[in-house]
Amino acid sequence: MSFDALTLFGLVAVSLMLLFYAFEDSSPWCILGFSVACAMGSVYGFLQGAWPFGLVEGVWTFIALKRWQKRRLAGTSAA
Domain boundaries along the sequence of the chain: 5-78
Dump the DSSP string for 60-77: HHHHHHHHHHHHHHHHHH
Is the pLDDT score of 76 beyond 90? no
Report the distance separating Cα 70 and Cα 32, nearest Å. 11
- pLDDT tens digits, 18-50: 999 999 999 999 999 999 999 999 999 999 999
pLDDT at 75: 74
pTM: 0.87
